[in-house]
Structure 1
């Protein structure tokens, strides 16, 4: 005979009955994420918001000509979907590889790949959706890169990335 008094909410296999599909409205994204000058990130899906265990998703808006410092995301895989604008990605030990993506394009960044994200437009913002394979925000900044091609003249300036003199 089944025990109908048993609370299935505590059974991880029954959790979905009480905490199933969730819709996160676009005007309800959480800006309480790591921010970089010239770049505005917002979380849609993470552990704090929906209980996600193995994925992070959100949006990023990057100002014209802005770029990140050289970095990688450890073991995480990242996917970037370009909504509007022109993205330029540089990657490699000396940022010797480059590719561009536009609206409707996906960018895949494998684990441990040193890379730099750049808004390739001098006039228009770049808007993207980001998805990462884990909930932790792993960012390993790389400061000793001698790029094969000198970067554009707009630099991220923050406590980690000083303006080159």
Structure 2
């Protein structure tokens, strides 16, 4: 192949790749165009931004949730999925453990990590305003395993969300 033929072939390849990236590249999902066709819980309103149906995502789900004042989920876990919750507005209270024996709270700007198979309950800790969060899960399938036979402890142990290099407040 001559240099001219190689340059022409590379140009054709680049044009094809460019056209492919136009449709299969970066996607921007406008905040007012989220999809409410997702699992809902009384007192909560979830909307999908990123999932397989909307953008072809294979390994991730992302969206928003608005939780009414004093609303909470039942006790559940998400199977093998990892979840991240980013608090945008309000105050989130998370309870977790076999008997919901641990509790921690998060406020705007805080991230919450929920490991696989951890029984937990999400609560809007504010009686007067909604809790607004962004959710990201490590798979596109919405796995929710409800746990009906949990006998919650009455006064959960408070756990500070810190890492090994940061001390308790």
Q: 1:129 aligns with which of 123, 127, 134?
A: 134
Aligned runs of 1:138-149 on 2, under 5 Å? 138-149=143-154
Aligned runs of 1:114-125 on 2, under 5 Å? 114-125=119-130
Unmatched segments (≥5 aa) in structure 2: 2-8, 157-169
Q: 1:81 aligns with which of 74, 77, 86?
A: 86
User: How much does 1:135 deviate?
Assistant: 0.2
Distance 1:15 1:132, change over 3 A: farther
Higher helix share: 2
Secondary structure of 2:29's counterpart equals: coil
- TM-score, reference length from structure 2: 0.80
User: How much does 1:150 deviate?
Assistant: 7.0
User: How much does 1:17 deviate?
Assistant: 5.5
Aligned twin of 1:103: 108
CA RMSD of aligned residues (A): 2.2
Unmatched segments (≥5 aa) in structure 1: 152-165
- CA deviation map 1:26-59 (0-9, x unaligned): 0000001111110000000000000000000000
In 1, the alpha carbon distance for the partners of 2:148 and 2:155 equals 14
Aligned runs of 1:1-165 on 2, under 5 Å? 16=21, 18-149=23-154
In 1, the alpha carbon distance for the partners of 2:40 and 2:155 equals 25
- TM-score, reference length from structure 1: 0.82
The count of aligned residue pairs is 146
Secondary structure of 2:24's counterpart equals: coil
Query: Structure 1 runs of 4+ off > 6 angstroms?
Result: none
